[in-house]
Amino acid sequence: MKLRVALSVKFLVVILVVPASRAQEVQTPTTQEVVTLPQLLAEAERVHPAIKAEVQMIEAKRSRIPQVKSLPDPTVQVGWMGNIRPFSVQRLDPSSYRGISAMQEFPYPGKLKLRGQIAEKDVEAEHWNLEAARRQVKADVKSAYYELWAVDQALLITQKNKELLEKLARIAEEKYKVGKGLQQDVIRAQLEVSRILQTFTTLNQRRRTLVAKLNSLLLRPSDTPIESLAPVQKTELNYSLEELAERGVANSTEVRRQEQLIEQSQYAVNLTRKDYYPDFRVGYDYWQRPDMADMHGFNVGINIPIFYKKKQREEVREATFGVESGKQSRDAIRTSLLFQVKEQYLQAKASEELLALYTKALVPQSALALESSMASYQTGALDFESLLANFQSVLEYEVNYYQELATYQKALVNLEQITGVELAN
């Protein structure tokens, strides 16, 4: 019986310990079709309604440009005076007539061009909304992918350690049967197995939630299976904080959109200033009169901005304040953006340090501690409770490694979304 127990303990240690240098080798089974991140990103780009909505909005706003650059519609009138019967005239009455008139309005030179420029800036600003939607969808897909992959690794590790813990429980039971163990050790081992089953339930629920999230981003039914994900490798962050901050300001969708709106507001100021000048109207009239020669008439009219103090001047003030408001909003966005870049950069660096700590210290050291405790437990120099504590440490550190790797990759994803720089491949 002693030989049987010793062999079981040795087998447990060999299988349980996953060296940090081989941490990436713990993957989902390869018998199923492997889903890759580029596949999901391409599908989301193609089908996501937020992206499609922005594309349609750009086309809608682009269609407005020729409208505002066009002249107002001409006005045509027909009429008569004389008999009540339509278009009839009274004989020998020079005041009786029937006629037609047309009028065309011409805005003051430069107004139509400015209206077109305002509409064009609206389209350019909307392009940055489209880019923001694309970045958001991309970030959501990547984050969900990394989280799902980490959960899969946690499930694999937990399953492996559940099987090994069951072996450990049997060892405790065998020792109890031969009088070298305690009944409470057997009960404690069984309790630990139940706790791992509880962890399985939590992890599976988390996995179902993440699968549903990914499916919603891909416009699929929520219960569409996503079984096996391609491995995630740690991406190196090869940019400094200063470089990322600079690129963030240069590529920020919010900043760029706000700059387009500022230019649009400046065009609006120029347009309101031209409202001090009159628009023109040109008209043509043609009359037929009984027993008299036909008559032709032309007229030209302008509007006179005599209420400029309450109207045009206030329009200019309104547009000018709009420009200044846009500039202040842009500066506020820049300030917030720089903070977000620093926050995510520090998060990535902290996760990177933790990953190195797990790889070089926590995982191998806890594995060695477990191996030593197994040997001590075999000889009776260590109690079962201490052995379980070391077992739990190994399980916790291995699972935390993958969770921290997902956190690190998600920080890069957030930096991508802010700066527009491809980081988390």
Kindly report, residue by residue over 95-135, the tens digit of the pLDDT.
888 899 999 999 999 999 999 999 999 999 999 999 999 99
- How many C-beta atoms lie closer than 10 Å to residue 106's C-beta? 15
Q: pLDDT band for position 32 (50/70/90)?
A: low
- At residue 170 the predicted structure's pLDDT band, cuts being 50, 70 and 90, is confident
- Three-state secondary-structure class, residue 94: coil
Predicted confidence at residue 24, as pLDDT, reads 43
Can you give the pLDDT at residue 21? Answer: 39
Q: Is 291 left (phi over 0), alpha (psi -120 to 50) or beta?
A: left
Rounded to an integer, what distance in angstroms lies between the CA atom of residue 250 and that of residue 30? Answer: 42
Pairing, β 97-106 against β 34-35: unpaired
Across 19-23, 33-37, 314-318, 363-367, least confident range: 19-23
| pLDDT tens profile 271-320 | 999 999 999 999 999 998 888 888 999 999 999 989 888 899 999 999 99
Angle between helices 363-379 and 384-419 (to 10 degrees): 170
Query: Which of the pair, 395 or 147, is modelled with greater confidence?
Result: 147
pLDDT digits (tens, 9 = 90+) for 193-239: 888 888 889 999 999 999 999 999 999 999 899 988 999 999 999 99
For residue 5, name the pLDDT band (cuts at 50, 70, 90).
very low
Q: Which residue has the higher pLDDT, 29 or 316?
A: 316
Quote the CA–CA distance of 212 and 293 in Å, as a whole number.
83
Average pLDDT value over all residues in the chain: 87
Query: Residue 173 burial (CB < 10 Å; 0-12/13-18/19+)?
Result: middle
Residue 332 banded pLDDT, cuts 50, 70, 90: very high
CB atoms within 10 A of CB 229: 23
Confidence grade of residue 31 (pLDDT, cut at 50, 70, 90): low
Q: Which residue has the higher pLDDT, 218 or 386?
A: 218
What pLDDT, on the 0 to 100 scale, is given for residue 181?
65
pLDDT value, residue 251: 94
- Report how far Cα 263 is from the mean position of its chain's Cα atoms: 26
- Report the first-to-last Cα separation within the chain, whole angstroms: 53
Q: At what angle do helices 241-251 and 253-274 cross, to 10 degrees?
A: 40
pLDDT at 188: 78
Q: Is the pLDDT of residue 26 over 90?
A: no
Q: Where are the domains of the chain?
A: 2-71+110-275+311-419, 73-106+278-307
Q: What is the pTM of this model?
A: 0.82
Cα 114 to Cα 106, 186, 275: the distances in Å are: 14, 84, 12
Per-residue model confidence (pLDDT) at position 65: 96
- CATH assignment, 2-71+110-275+311-419: 1.20.1600.10
Pairing of strands 75-81, 97-106: antiparallel
pLDDT: is 174 or 110 the higher one? 110
* 349 against 159, higher pLDDT: 349
Residue 272 near residue 322, CB atoms below 8 Å: no
Sheet harboring 280-288: ordered strands across?
75-81, 97-106, 280-288, 295-302
Any idea which of 174-178, 295-299, 385-389, 407-411 has the lowest mean pLDDT? 174-178
Q: What is the full DSSP assignment across 184-197?
A: HHHHHHHHHHHHHH
